[in-house]
Each structure stands twice: as structure tokens, then as C-alpha cells.
Structure 1
């Protein structure tokens, strides 16, 4: 369940004559993000000064500090940088002048040392080369990046956590607005909290659990809160408290015109961003959530079924669906078939005396049952943080289901394809509960609340040579579901090959989302292969 060092920026060199050992010698001057001046000869650093120290030595005084900033800016421009140095850049934003420094934004190009690191996505299968990666740290930095993209007529992608299955958070030749450095968490009244978009789920859980609070979200520790929320967001606690987006009270966003918009003044934008906001309308700079009491304990059961065959597959599918239908709202179940081994995970965080009886149809036929009862929740969640990337994989929604008949109608072909292709994983997760709440449905664009099960298709490999075979098997399974009538899909598990993706992700809400797009980004600055188009 996938939801289940200060970075060095610009580096410039130029020839310069410096006082060294009381005589003039030719050396190189290297500026690292305006922090120090390093004097090098034959690639060896022979002296290093801050700008302030350099001016003092030269007898120039602080009045010349802007000159040094200009020197850095010009050097960076020669190397293909934006020209943002320690002294900053004055940017005329319409009728407003905005002062921007590296404390607001670092504009990386392919010549920069840090570019490769910030350009690395979680999925090693995908490769993109944007013209600029704007490492934004403040709203002003985002506004500067948007203005630069508008002036150069660049396509813009927005990246926070970087887990986009199809790489929709990057592009070729455009700009990526990277929000990974914006990680502030601010506690407000009534146990509400404001979170910046760069926070990962592991950051959220560490901060929230310390205050005995809970946000219903996913399980994978390196997923970003921004993408998770804007596409819906589900996990162990969603059947009790709704999707992550259902707990979103307010957000702020910078649109294509560079202006900051607050959903306190626009409820339609809030509606659109609850399930349809992934990089479609602008750059979200903060999220305000309601939180819930952290449960005191967390029970989990891991069931293993080995040497699976087609008959056992059908038996376990029947048993799993029968059990999942009886789960309380604080229960969750996942069915994970990997080659010939089935793993069933069942969790519960509000102790029920009869819970063991509810899951008996599964425990009675499992090869092994491993319970962990009354576990400490913060420690328990770390078990589900998942692998750290980057890794080779292809993941996508395998559809949302009404019940087991959606699986059983293709059971033989589905099982045989998974069995014959090591690395393919088929998973089903429980939704339902409060996710189906009518009030949540009315206040968000997430459309599939009546479908209580979510399928996920996964493929993992270690070497590029394995990709073609696994992707072919992956697409065969997708065809089975599509021909079997399964067409609704979860937006946070996208696939570039979904035919009617507008209806698959958004149901009847797509036309309404288009109107929101037209208001905030009519020229489609924020665009990727499956972004919402203007009306």
C-alpha cells in the first residue's frame, strides 16, 4: 500500500586576482550558494572566506556587499542559473516588487551539482529532464518560479513527496516546482494543524503521535502529504474517519497568475482539491486539517497462505470478502497475492471481544497466523513505512469493486498471470465505512465512495532487462479487468494507459473540475498527460 546536509545549490567559478601570501596570484573563486568564497589553485582550496570576511580583508566594507551578490548572479547566469545570489533578485511581479534570495528559492539547471539529486524520482523506470528545478522554500519563492515559467512559456509540474506512479510530478524541458524543503507543522486551536506540502507521512506521524493525535492517511512513510491529500488519501484509519481529504478544512494555493488564493474565500476550490487537486490548479502552500485522538493500541494479524493454486485462490477470495464485510469501522483488511504466496493483513485499533470470531473464516484455513495485539501505535506504524527509493516498479489502480464478483469473473486468468510472473503483486484493500459518508461526498470531488474495495496492481524488478516481460503481464491483467467491466480507478494510483481516465478518476465530476481549472489556470501552465483540461 504505497500510500502505503543543506543542499548545495549553485556553484560558479571565474578567474580572479586575489591577495594571497602578500602578493597577487591568479586563482579561482568559487561561490557556494553565496555562503563562502573559496580560492582555489590547481583544484586545491588555498583559502576560504565568507563574503563579509572577504570585504573586510579587501577594506571595502559592508557597503560593497550587494556588489558581491551581483558578481555571484552574473557568474550563475553564465552557468545557466537563474541569477539568484545571496544579495537576492528584485522581481517585478505585476505592479508589485518582490525581493527573492536563496532563502526563498534555488533555481537549478542541468549544469548544477544538486540537479541530479533533486531530479531523481522514486521510480527508477521513469526519466525526465526539466529545464529548471525550482527548490522553493517560501511563497515568494514559488511566485518567483511561476513568473519565470510564465515568461519563458514553460510547462510546470509540482513535486512534494515524489511518489507519482507515472512521473506526473516532473516533465521534459519545463519547470518542476519542488516543495520538499517546506516542512513546517503548526498546531492551532481545537487540535487543528497547518502543514506545509513538503512533509512526508513519516514526518506527519512523528509530529502528530507526539501530541497523541491522528490524521487518517496512508502507511508508506515516504509518501508526501500534498499528493496524498489532493488525490484522496486512504489507509488504516479511513473507514473510521474518512479519507485524508475529508479531514482537510482549508488550504492556500498560488495559481498561474502568481496570486495567493485561500479556500476560506472559495469553497469550490476546496471541493476540487479534495480528490482532484494533484498539480491541476496551482501550487498548494499549506493544508489545514482536523485531527483525532490517537488510539492507545493497534492490533494486527498477518495470515500466510502458501503453495496457492487456482482452487485455493477462489476459496481465499470468498473468505476474505466475507470477513471484510463484517469488519467494524476501525478494522482494515488487505489481500496481497505475490506469486504463489498470499498474505492477508487485518488490523483493528479499538479492541472488540468478538474480533477473533469475525476473522475466523480466514484464520481457520491459513497456514500461519501471526497476531500482534495491543501494540504501541507509533512503533506499529513504522512496520508499514515500506522500501526507500529509488526502485524499479510499475504500480497502478486495479479498479474499485462493489464486491467479490468483480474478481471471481476473471479469477483463473488473473491468478495464472500472477503465478507465472514473479514480481507481479495483486492487492485488494478495504474502503467503505465513513468513506461512504454522504456529507463527505457532497463536500469533495472524490466520486467512488459507493465502491468499498480498491484493487492495486504492482510490479517490481531489480534489473532493466526484466521490465518488458513484467509490464506486458501487468497490462494483460489490466485488460482482464477492463473487459470485465471494471473502469473506476483511484486517482492517486494513475496509469498512462487508462483509456477514459477523466471518468475513471472523477466520474461525473470532471466537467465541474474543468470550470475550476478555467478560473485558475486557463492557459494550462500546470499540465501533465492526465491533468484536468480547462472547460
Structure 2
């Protein structure tokens, strides 16, 4: 008998594949053969694969299955990033119920077919578009129900701008990402960074329970008191490793007033801005979140932006303290907004009358990440590495605050004590993909030499060195055990899955 992985290799089928530049939007997040993921144990013998019964699945879905040649298939298979438009899945299942998802998992398990869940389709590595596989599209499961006790039940297919709009209508908020089309599922499963994290924690820190379809097609409810290992793993263990989540329940907070800000600095100030930011963010109150964006080119430039939970009068002294070490910015913008208007501002929707996921454009990019555990001793070297790299940004996002007060082993997200993250983001075109990927890798490795190691799984990259340790750190071994328990036959196996049979 073949193992599932052996079968897929023999058939010439690519591994399954979702995720987040904006951030992450799918549930499953290829890599070089050498990684530090746990070595694979022998896979139990499985029955021989059966041909996938797509006609039967189509009936189970009430006709909502798209295959090559069907009307709407080409649109349905698209990811957020056009770099992956060449991927050809065998089918896209447009699911609206848990029963639909169960049927998809059963078909994939019995036929050894690659399977990937998709909510926003933002996988940086394109893992939500498995070649020759089954895409489980969850965007028909996107309801947001805010309950009287302040908890919010959110379908796995909901995207962030719709989540924020529904929460704000009820006077509530949830710490999450900024890109409006990112899916709540991929974001949460990888941890969930955003502009309110220092105040309210990661998105996964607000998770109360999750409904999950595991590899045996069973619906499980993971909570702090039920399926506890699974609940632990879902909070930062990355998408696509343990099953397909169909619904999340979160605790929320009263929606606050938010003051947004941006300081733009003249050419030549970038190194001073990075150096000042590292010291400033370490000593900042939890109410303050910030990011420094270094834009490459002939002379790299820098801007500081972020938000403050509170009035403008309380923020301005903090900004004044920052510019003591940088010099006067060339532009200073500070404005108090409602919670929803602040989220629209960060989403780039402030000037858009229509800011719905389907109305917004896609983006073509290559990306990776590093983690700033300790301050970078040579800010000038960081700036120099993108000198001349047109259309590349380094985004330094602050952590700390509420994130740091959770033990690194309490959830699967390991980077609790880090100062911040660095996202390497290269705009590109399909015909320049190879050069863009190479440029990103060069900067990623250079950052490693400056002491910024590791990586954020929601910015997953196919060529990340030692990806298992980079993304999961000391939590990798436990995650591997959870994956093997809930998916012993590696139904959800893909190139960077934790359980790589």
C-alpha cells in the first residue's frame, strides 16, 4: 500500500495548499527538502485510493462545485496574488455549511486528493491553490453574529472589512489585521497581528472556541476545556495543519476611539528613524501601536505610522519624544477617528465609498519575514540592504504590550517576547517573479545576519530556511504531536505542513 504522500508523488500531484501582504486570508499556508520540521514517522497503511467522485460531491453541494470548463471556474480558482493564477485545481467547492466541508474532506481523504481551505486566499506561498487538488472555498460561510455578552461568532469565510463593519455596528472591536480582504480564518490560525495587538493581544488570544472538521470528517468543537490540544494548536499553529475551521467564537472589547498618525521623514533619516523606533516602542504604553516602513530605492526613505487608543492630546507628547532622536519630519498627520473609520483608514478605504472585498483589486508581490527579538544594533545596515531595491518595503511592526504577557508555550504562537516583526514586501509582476523572489531571499538572509531570525507563519515563504523552527520555535514538537493525532494519515499534508508524511 502507498502512503498518502507516496501516492501524491507517484501521481505527479503537487502538495495541498492558504493564508496573508496585507496579512493572511486562507487556512493553509513549497519548501526545499531540507527543513527542521520534525522527521516524519511511518504513516499507517491506508486503503487504496478511489477515484474522486466529483459528481457525487456536486450533488452534496447542491451544484456548487466548479471544475475546469465550468462557467465561473477561472474566477473561482483565483487567489489574491496573481502570481498563482497558473495553478489549476481539479475543483473548487463553494461551501455554505459544515456538511459541505465534511463531504469535501471525505472525498479528499478517500481519493488521496490534495485539499486546501480558502477564506481570503492570501497565502503568501499560494497554498490555497493546490495544483490538481480541491479548493474548499469558505466565503459562503461569512456571517458575523455579535451576541449580547460581547462574544462574536464569525464564519471562517468572513473577510476583515466585513468583520470590522459588523462589530462596529454593535459597538465592539476585535484586534486583527489591516488588509480588508484577508480572511479571519488564516489570520487567526497563524496568530493574528494588527494595529490593536499591543492593547488587546493577538487575534488568536481572543479565541473562545472553534468548530473544526478534522481529517476523519468529524465536526469537533475546540475550547479551553474540550479538545484542549487542538484548541492550543489552532492559536498560532498555522492554517491547514489540523483540519478545516468553519466557525470561530471570539471575545471582543468595546469599540474605542482611535487616533491615527503618520510621520514622513526626509531622505537620509531612515537609519535614525529605525534606531529611535526600537527604543521608543520598547517603552511605549500598551495603547500605542506603531510601524516603521522603509521604502527601497536610490535613497531609502522612512515613515512612522500607527494608532493610539485615546485622544490626540495624549498621543502628541509621545510623538514629540520620538522626533527628538530623528529630527523634524517632513510631514506630520494626526487625527482622531471612530473604530470603524480607523480600520477603514488602515485598510486604504478612507476615500472609498465602496470598500467591499469583491470591489478591491488584487496585488502581485513576493514576500517573507523576520522577527526582531532584540534591537538591531546596526540600523544603518538594515537600511543599506534595500538601497537601490525599487518597489521593496520593509515593514517593522511593533509587538510587546499584551502580546508579551502571554507565555510563549501557552498558545502555539512562539514570538511572545519579540520586539516586533519585519515583513519584506516586494511589488512585482508575473514575468518578474523569479527576480523578485531572489531579491526577497537576499534581504531575508541579510536580516538574519543582523540578528533578526525566525519568521511569522502568516507571511509564509516557500524558501524560508529551517522553516519549522523559524515559524514555530520550541512549540514545533508539540504541534507535530497534535497534527499526527488529529490527522494520522496526513490528509492535510502540503509542502510546509507540520505533519509532512
Instruction: Settle same-fold status: TM greater than 0.5.
Output: yes
Give the SS at the match of 2:279.
helix
2:263 to 303, 306, 309: 303
1:360 to 320, 343, 347: 320
- TM-fit CA distance, 1:218: 0.8
CA RMSD of aligned residues (A): 2.1
1:117 to 59, 75, 82: 75
Q: After the TM superposition, which residues 283-302 of structure 1 pair with which residues of structure 2 at under 5 Å, given as runs?
A: 283-295=244-256, 297-302=257-262
- TM-fit CA distance, 1:352: 7.3
2:171 to 196, 212, 216: 212
Q: Structure 1 483/404 Cα, relative in aligned 2: closer, same or farther at 3 Å?
A: closer
Q: Deviations over 1:97-128 (max 9, x none)?
A: xxx342xx622211211111111111111232
Higher relative contact order (CA 8 A, sep 6+): 2
2:55 to 75, 82, 85: 82
Q: After the TM superposition, which residues 47-446 of structure 1 pair with which residues of structure 2 at under 5 Å, given as runs?
A: 82-83=55-56, 89=59, 100-102=60-62, 106-126=64-84, 127-264=86-223, 265-295=226-256, 297-308=257-268, 312-339=269-296, 340-351=300-311, 353-363=313-323, 365-386=327-348, 388-405=360-377, 408=379, 411-412=380-381, 414-438=382-406, 441-446=408-413
Aligned positions, number = 435
Q: Structure 1 418/442 Cα, relative in aligned 2: closer, same or farther at 3 Å?
A: closer
How many Å separate the matches in 1 of 2:500 and 2:294? 40
- TM-fit CA distance, 1:386: 4.3
Give the SS at the match of 2:82.
coil
Residue in structure 2 matched with residue 8 of structure 1 by the alignment: none
Residue in structure 2 matched with residue 25 of structure 1 by the alignment: none
- TM-fit CA distance, 1:361: 4.2
How many Å separate the matches in 1 of 2:304 and 2:61? 51
- TM-fit CA distance, 1:355: 3.2
Q: Deviations over 1:391-421 (max 9, x none)?
A: 210122133332232x53xx33x43342312
How many Å separate the matches in 2 of 1:498 and 1:485? 16
How many Å separate the matches in 2 of 1:110 and 1:484? 47
- TM-fit CA distance, 1:360: 1.8
Of the structure 1 ranges 312-321 and 444-453, higher mean CA displacement relative to structure 2 is found in 312-321
Structure 2 segments unaligned to the other structure (5+ residues): 1-20, 25-52, 350-359
How many Å separate the matches in 1 of 2:406 and 2:102? 37
Note if contact 2:258-2:310 (Cα within 8 Å) is conserved in structure 1. yes
- TM-fit CA distance, 1:498: 1.1
How many Å separate the matches in 1 of 2:315 and 2:134? 51
Note if contact 1:160-1:178 (Cα within 8 Å) is conserved in structure 2. yes
Give the SS at the match of 1:398.
strand
Residue in structure 2 matched with residue 455 of structure 1 by the alignment: 422
How many Å separate the matches in 2 of 1:172 and 1:324? 43
TM-score normalised per structure 2: 0.82
1:474 to 437, 440, 445: 440
Q: Report which of the two has the higher share of strand.
A: 1
How many Å separate the matches in 2 of 1:370 and 1:262? 48
Q: Deviations over 1:82-111 (max 9, x none)?
A: 2567xxx4xxxxxxxxxx342xx6222112
How many Å separate the matches in 1 of 2:146 and 2:93? 28
Q: Structure 1 386/116 Cα, relative in aligned 2: closer, same or farther at 3 Å?
A: farther
Q: Structure 1 186/464 Cα, relative in aligned 2: closer, same or farther at 3 Å?
A: closer
Note if contact 1:335-1:428 (Cα within 8 Å) is conserved in structure 2. yes
How many Å separate the matches in 2 of 1:183 and 1:372? 34
Note if contact 1:517-1:534 (Cα within 8 Å) is conserved in structure 2. no
Give the SS at the match of 2:370.
strand
